[in-house]
Amino acid sequence: MRNYRPFTTELYTKDKKLARIALRRFIGKGKEYYLAVNPDTLESELAPVGKYLFLKRSLGEMREEHGNRAYFKALAFSERNSRNLQNAGITHISGHGAAVYLTADLCPTRRPLDRALFMRIMNEYGNYHKPVPVALSITGRWMEKHSADLRWLIDLEKNKIISIVWINHTYTHLYKKNLPLSKNFLLNKTAGIDEEILHNEIAMIESGLIPSVFFRFPGLISNREAFLKITGLGLIPVGSDAWLGKNQWPKQGSIILVHANNQELVGMKRLAGLINAKQKAIAAGEWMLRDIRAGIVEYMKMY
């Protein structure tokens, strides 16, 4: 890949219907592509240049023109919660009473993915509903060290055991042990936000993933300036109101957070226990895991 860069344009079908919003442009294997999002479903696509008609517009112009579409409404909605130091962005998804939303972080670590525990969770829920929807917040440093684990996850998706939304979690997940939160993670003065985001997207695409339009701040730490840089790149920050490792338990509409990188096993074990305890409700459709994109699309119809 080369010449990967932010590039915003409206993409239209031949009958002049808005089909996608392009956020990036790059050259891969001798061809030019857009990284684009469907503004109504939030699904991402690597679209060859020429597949769609285009109208070059800034993101701001498109937000003003198409503010009623789910993608732009979600960007605006996330910014309502942009000033928090901890857990900014979308943290809860109302609108579907039986649903919760599973997100799992893959922060840098030398430890392997706990495949056995991961499969136990997938299988127990998958006894009733397949594929199991999960949003994985992934870092470039994790991908560097765990190519076999990444291919294993991709194979699970190919075999329709799970359905994955890939969330950008920065490339390095910069963290300094002795710094206060207000100067740590992406708020560290040495952190280059654009580089962290774009470098990670390149690594994701080169690994065969399609980056979603979602972003999770490392440590769930941000400020208003950092937050607006993220939305300025067209990404929707998501937090959590049910970080299981911190003993936060989900309710209807919760965005669950666990770490699937073997660094916070208590969260994964609690998730396994939760799914086991909900077996009757899961079988009856009274408690379900749902794709975060579908949940946010439905949620935005309320606004």
Q: What is the pLDDT of residue 96?
A: 81
User: Are residues 186 and 140 both part of a single domain?
Assistant: yes
Count the domains in the chain: 2
User: Are residues 84 and 223 both part of a single domain?
Assistant: yes
Question: Considering Cα of 116, then 253, then 298, then 22, what sign does the dihedral take?
Answer: negative
Average pLDDT over residues 130-159: 98
Helices (H), 23-114: 59-65, 70-79
User: Are residues 239 and 147 both part of a single domain?
Assistant: yes
Average pLDDT over residues 220-224: 98
CB 237 within 8 A of CB 227: yes
Is residue 300 predicted with pLDDT exceeding 90? yes
* 7: containing domain: 2-60
d(C-alpha 69, C-alpha 37), whole Å: 12
Average pLDDT over residues 8-30: 97
Instruction: Give the CATH number for residue 287.
Output: 3.20.20.370
Q: What is the pLDDT of residue 97?
A: 83
User: Are residues 41 and 180 both part of a single domain?
Assistant: no
Of 60, 89, 105, the domain-final residue: 60
Of 60, 86, 101, the domain-final residue: 60
What is the pLDDT confidence band of residue 95, given thresholds at 50, 70 and 90? Answer: confident
Query: Is residue 162 one of the residues assigned to a domain?
Result: yes
Average pLDDT over residues 29-53: 97
Average pLDDT over residues 152-176: 98
Of 30, 60, 90, the domain-final residue: 60
CB 63 within 8 A of CB 92: no
Identify the bridge partners of residue 9 per DSSP, sorted by sequence position.
Answer: 22, 56
pTM for the whole thing?
Answer: 0.98
Is residue 142 predicted with pLDDT exceeding 90? yes
User: Are residues 41 and 136 both part of a single domain?
Assistant: no
- Determine the residue type at 255: I
Query: Is residue 70 one of the residues assigned to a domain?
Result: no
User: Are residues 247 and 105 both part of a single domain?
Assistant: yes
User: Are residues 103 and 235 both part of a single domain?
Assistant: yes
- Determine the residue type at 156: L
Which among 289, 242, 248, 298 has a CA at the least distance from the CA of 99? 289
Query: Is residue 68 one of the residues assigned to a domain?
Result: no
